[in-house]
Amino acid sequence: MEVFGLDIGGSGIKGAPVDLETGELVEERIRIPTPQAPTSEAVVETSLEVIGRFGWDGPVGVGFPGVIKDGVVHTAANVAKELIGFDLQGRLQGEIGNTVRVVNDADAAGLAEMRWGAGRGVEGMVMMLTLGTGIGTALFTQGKLMPNSEFGHLLIRDREVELWASDRIRKQEDLSWKKWAKRLNEYLATMEALFWPDLIIVGGGVSKKADKFVPKLETRARIVPAQMLNIAGIAGAALAIEAFPRHAPRAATPG
């Protein structure tokens, strides 16, 4: 089965058809920069442009950097606050005329790693970290996803950790790999105290340079680089069609 995977990020929107048997991209991905003023209309327009370039007519899975409940955006820290409350799933589904499922982008990457990558066949608690503009997290227990964990927003030293230890901050502050790893170790110690994971998978664009910093990370759990690298977000987004076959039920209105 083939599903289109769309990965909406703070700097780019990229996508390609994905073979759900292998996790491979069926065609070379297309990337278009995220609009400088990423309003809901601009994000939808750019997303449709990426999908349209393939002449795609089928289901679409979407990863978005924020909390997603029943296809609705509830946080958008690294995109635009204007998107909060927007039914991205419903709007795209109406435009495309096919099934669309929207999930948190770190959850999408985690789904890909659990199916085809470093988490394949692993039991117990698995934690996926995506290090980039922010810090995304995904938690799995016995292979089951706990959606929307968003632990990049924990406070450490009175700051959100993604504003202190993300890859963007490493670049902005010109931190050495050693100094950056020290910050990550402080964050990981907090996460281990809370969740006691059995495996930690380090993903995001910087995972291509895992040899520079992963050996400097100190954890009780086994810690490994992600294997899916830059296609994890697209491939995992496509898996959302399987992972979330139906809408979640909406909460009852009080009274």
The whole-number pLDDT of residue 246 equals: 66
pTM of the shown model: 0.91
Residue 135: name the closest of 162, 106, 110, 115 by CA. Answer: 162
Q: Which residue ranges of the chain lie beneath pLDDT 50?
A: 248-255
What are the Cα distances from residue 24, in Å, to 16, 77, 114, 160, 232?
10, 30, 14, 35, 10
Residues 6+ apart with CB under 8 A from 156: 164, 165, 186, 187, 190
DSSP reduced 3-state for 228: coil
What CATH class is the domain 2-107+234-243? alpha beta
pLDDT digits (tens, 9 = 90+) for 196-224: 999 999 998 899 999 999 999 999 999 99
Contact partners, residue 188, CB within 8 Å, separation at least 6: 200, 217, 218, 219, 223
* pLDDT score for 37: 83
Whole-angstrom distance, CA of residue 33 vs CA of residue 14? 8
Q: How far apart are CA 6 and CA 29, in angstroms?
A: 10
Domain boundaries, the chain: 2-107+234-243, 121-226
CB atoms within 10 A of CB 9: 21
DSSP state letter for 235: H
The pLDDT, as a whole number, for residue 237 is 97
For position 82, what pLDDT does the model report? 86
pLDDT at 123: 87
pLDDT at res. 251 = 44
Classify domain 121-226 by CATH number.
Answer: 3.30.420.40
pLDDT at 247: 55
By CB atoms closer than 10 A (0-12, 13-18, 19+), residue 217 is middle
Per-residue pLDDT tens for 37-47? 889 999 999 99
pLDDT tens-digit series, residues 186-196: 999 999 999 99
DSSP string, 20-83: TTT--BSS--EEEEPPSS--HHHHHHHHHHHHHTTT--S-EEEEESS-EETTEE---TTS-GGG
The β-bridge relationship of strands 222-225 and 68-69 is: unpaired
DSSP letter at 121?
Answer: T
C-alpha to C-alpha distance for 87 and 178, rounded to whole angstroms:
42
Same fold, 2-107+234-243 and 121-226: yes
pLDDT of residue 79: 79
- Tokens at residue 203, please? 């993903």
